[in-house]
Amino acid sequence: MVIHLKHTRRCVLAALLLAGAASPALAQDVPAGYPADYADVIAAARKEGAVSIYTSTDQAQAQPFLDAFTKRFPGIKIEYNDLGTNGAYNRVISEAAAGQVGADVVWSSAMDYQMSLAKEGHAGAYKSPEAKNVPDWASFKDTLYATSVEPIGIIYNTKALPEGKVPKTRADLIKFLQDNKTELKGKIASFDPEKSGSGFLHHTNDVRQTKTFWDLAKAFGAIGGRTYSSSGAMKETVVSGENVLAFNIIGSYGLQWAKESPNLGVAFGTDYTPAFSRLALITAKAPHPNAAKLLLDFMLSQEGQNALAKGGMPSVRTDTDQGFNAKTLNERVGGNLQPIKLDEGLLEYLNPQKRVQFFREWKASLSGS
Amino acid sequence: MAAEGKTAGSPMGGVWTGPAAPARSLTRRGGDAGLFRVVVIGLLAVAVLTPVGLIVYQSFLSAPFFSKSAVLSLEAYEYVFTDPSFYEALGTTALIAFGMVAVAVPLGGGLAFLLTRTDIGGKRLLEILVLVPMFISSVVLAFGYTVSVGPAGFMSLFVRDILGFVPWNLYSLPGIIAIAGLSHVPNVYLYLSAAMRNLPSDLEEAARTAGASVWRVSLDVTLPMVLPAIVFAAALNLLLGFEMFGIPLVLGDPNGILVLTTYTYKLTTLFGVPTYQLMAAVAMVLILITLPLVYVQRRLLRHSRRFAALGGKGARTTNLKLGRKGQAIAFAVIGLWLFVSVALPIAGIVLRAFVNAWGEGVDLFAQLTTANFHRLLEVPSLVRGIVNTVLISAVGGALAVGIYLLIGLAGHRNRGVSNTILDYLVLLPRALPGLVIGLAFFWVFLFIPFLTPLRPTLASLFIAYVVVGLSYGLRLLQGTLLQVSPELEESARTTGATIGRTWWDVVIPIVRPGLAGAWALIMIIFLREYATGVYLMSAGTEVIGSLMVSLLQTGAMDMIAALAFISILLTAIGLTLALRLGARIHD
């Protein structure tokens, strides 16, 4: 009898233990400061088993972050789609129209497109428990979250241009182009806003924030400036000596490249250093809504932000120690870091008339008329 | 590769040696083949016309077809036809296409003449080398050129050290024309060598005996005889020129040189909203330009059949003697061409793949590294891209051969209306840029309910590839099928076999070795494909070519270089395989 009882007790104990092991989320999985019921989100996400990202970020760059997520939440498979800024945006709206939503999280550097997706109801509202840890400007109506702050700057060939001669302000840059017409002919590069969403964002943001953008564009046109569709392509030409300097490029890449490439320097405007953010949103009809929440929260968490910064995307937080964070970056660029505002102003240049007008003026400036 | 040249070009240069009448009667009696034809051509029509129809429909709408605000309208055409950039792109495209033909046809013709009609040494090796540029994706080629002969390329710096300046500019219109022309030489060579190989040599010999020089013979005797083939090759290359994407994408970018394909690519950014209607309208313009070229090609084919008498079976071909001086000149010309169109781009890619930086004042030896490959291997999507590319090329290529064989049989000895339909169906996808077809297939797999499960699988890419590679693949198969002497089929038929039985027991066993060669070549074609997957691929279905295009957007040159290198490696493996299999056809 005693033996029998003991046996029963052991069974119960074993069952309890088993139940504990099988339960997908334990309380200790819930990060500090998160609501207690977050364990349910984790459990549901585990059950979903996958999360799909549409993005414009190269996987090579995102890999440290993806690895960190997989380590933290094993069993949730990440389907990573690098589609470019246009590709991500177009695919999201095409799929929504077909009722075949494939993306859980859209993570793109085209801030204007992301805002447009949110405006048109493609983003679901979600208040991240990490929202309180990022600056106020870094989120928009619980739909869009800035996951990085990346300075826009200059890269230059150090052999062709000694550090002392590198323009330090916007006015310097314009003057530099105007004063060195013959030496710089065909040797200055920038983004082609007609081909690149990032380039379009950088240039139009300048139009909105500064008074001198068109002077810069005209000086750029006057020396036969060359335009590219990516920062990487410009880096290749600046390192090889084909171009002397490239402006309005993604400076966070520049910081990384300057470390590993010979002949390459990076500089930022001390009077004004705009910065863009990669924005993340959860789609309104995400096929894996819980895994999407998990991913977004992790993206904004200290651990996730450190992993992103490790991949060269400076953190929006100030309490990370990998790479740059919002505070150390501001010091690095000379104290005038001005993140592009996360508001409906981003939509200004999505207006067809404004867009056409911008391109017309851009082309006119470039052709020197 | 010799066998390849023969099969690929066969429908062209008077290979059709059988008398036409019995073939026709075969068709008439072929009741059981009729059903097969209808089914196969019908299925093909669905596969080709669905995406093409979608593009036509889209071009007449005011917004993307899935948008609620889309109404029938001519807005897209209005926009395109009033956009100065469109005319600029159109003009540039025409200039590049004609310029390319002007470079490629004389060179390809000259090569074909030297390799088929003369006793130039090392033929077997040359025949392979001459085709190499055709097998490398043009994105890869163009990328290689930027590293070797770009403004700061190693070749440019070398020449500048000697001359004091760089006598060329790769990123200019002439630069693009030269590169495009050189890389299309193999396409011309393939056709013309097939045509020339089948010419009887007695006329040339007679001219030689009468004292004419080799040069004179080639111009006054050989040239007129292969003129139809030359026009055909020119028309084909014009077509290829109009839809070229990779070379202008890479080389036209820095100086803002736009062609129609890159113009459509740009239209999407220009508006900030999907402007598929504009892309579709431009695609329609391309169809309108290229369809007449397709028509010309068909006419020429018909004529060439009339001249079939030229190439009797017993035609004896003896090679012209070049003499020592002639050999030297020929080798110099071929060597120079090979250096520029094979050695330079491949050297550029190999170099870039193993360094982190290059150019002016960069010590390349200090930069040597395998880091690019280590980083490549750390990125799952890129590794998957390599695996997928191998899968879709090897397995997909084999399946494609089966499909093309069925289509080839449906058109085999078929001279009825259905064959005309078949010809146009086959050439229609050829008239559209791969980028646009890929986009149309993306829609097909997104919006046609029972097809949606296929979208995230390689099957979607495979179907698109089969349609894009249709004209090339079918040409290979048709060529092989035509080599089966009609007498064999007739004797089977006379003894009472049905057409199906004749095909199964006579035709297919005979062409089986040819199929292996075709498989290897289609494998290489699928390997180099890049435009089709740009819109179609998703996580899990990445392929190398399209990955490179998408990486170009962010400019991850290290990864592009490593992928390009692997792509060349795979091509080399495919080519070796093709040669092995091809050699078997020969023995």
Asked if the C-beta of A348 comes within 8 angstroms of chain B's C-beta atoms, the answer is: no
Residues 6+ apart with CB under 8 A from A278: A56, A57, A107, A108, A109, A146, A147, A148, A150, A313
For residue A115, what pLDDT is reported?
Answer: 95
Of B361, B379, B550, the CB nearest to A63: B379
Encoded tokens for B238: 């014009």
Asked if the C-beta of A196 comes within 8 angstroms of chain B's C-beta atoms, the answer is: yes
Q: Which residues of A319-347 are buried (b: 16+ CB within 10 A; e: fewer)?
A: ebeebbbbebbbebbbeebbbbebeeebb
The whole model's pTM is what?
0.82
Is A192–B555 a contact, with Cβ atoms under 8 angstroms apart? no
Q: Please tell me which residue of chain B has the smallest CA distance to A250.
A: B554
Residues in chain A closer than 8 A to B356 (CB atoms):
260-261
pLDDT level of residue A87 (50, 70, 90 thresholds): confident
For residue B497, what pLDDT is reported?
Answer: 83
pLDDT level of residue A63 (50, 70, 90 thresholds): very high
Give the whole-angstrom CA distance, residue B458 versus residue B391. 9
Beta bridge partners of A51: A78
For residue B367, what pLDDT is reported?
Answer: 82
Residue B61 DSSP code = B
pLDDT level of residue A167 (50, 70, 90 thresholds): very high
Give the whole-angstrom CA distance, residue B462 versus residue B389. 11
For residue A112, what pLDDT is reported?
Answer: 92
Of B254, B357, B539, the CB nearest to A81: B539
Consecutive H or E run containing A273: strand A273-276
Of A79, A87, A94, the CB nearest to B446: A94
Is B357–A226 a contact, with Cβ atoms under 8 angstroms apart? no
For residue B221, what pLDDT is reported?
Answer: 81
| Contact criterion met (CB below 8 Å) for A108 and A89 | yes
Is A60–B273 a contact, with Cβ atoms under 8 angstroms apart? no
B555 burial (CB, 10 Å; 0-12 / 13-18 / 19+) is buried
pLDDT level of residue A107 (50, 70, 90 thresholds): very high
| Contact criterion met (CB below 8 Å) for A248 and A151 | no
Q: Please tell me which residue of chain B has the smallest CA distance to A94.
A: B66
For residue B339, what pLDDT is reported?
Answer: 92
Of A189, A227, A240, the CB nearest to B358: A240
Residues in chain B closer than 8 A to A194 (CB atoms):
266, 269-270
Q: Please tell me which residue of chain A has the smallest CA distance to B451.
A: A100
Of A86, A231, A352, the CB nearest to B269: A86
Of A90, A189, A240, the CB nearest to B274: A90
Give the whole-angstrom CA distance, residue B132 versus residue B111. 14
Give the whole-angstrom CA distance, residue B229 versus residue A5. 96
Residue A97 DSSP code = H
Q: What is the DSSP string of B222-255?
A: IHHHHHHHHHHHHHHHHHHHHT--HHHHHHSTTT
Mean pLDDT (chain A, rounded): 89
Q: Which residues of B412-435 are buried (b: 16+ CB within 10 A; e: fewer)?
A: bbbeeebbeebbbbbbbbbbbbbb
Ranges of residues in chain B with a pLDDT under 50 are 1-30, 305-314, 583-587
Angle separating helix axes A251-260 and A231-240, nearest 10 degrees: 40
| Contact criterion met (CB below 8 Å) for A310 and A323 | yes
Is B556–A359 a contact, with Cβ atoms under 8 angstroms apart? no
Is B555–A231 a contact, with Cβ atoms under 8 angstroms apart? yes
Give the whole-angstrom CA distance, residue B182 versus residue A269. 45
pLDDT digits (tens, 9 = 90+) for A193-247: 988 888 999 999 999 999 999 999 999 999 999 998 888 889 988 998 889 999 9
What's the Rg (C-alpha) of chain B?
A: 24
Is B554–A230 a contact, with Cβ atoms under 8 angstroms apart? yes
Residues in chain B closer than 8 A to A90 (CB atoms):
268, 274
Asked if the C-beta of A322 comes within 8 angstroms of chain B's C-beta atoms, the answer is: no
Q: Please tell me which residue of chain A has the smallest CA distance to B551.
A: A58
Is B550–A83 a contact, with Cβ atoms under 8 angstroms apart? yes
The distance of B564 to chain A (nearest Cα, Å) reads 16
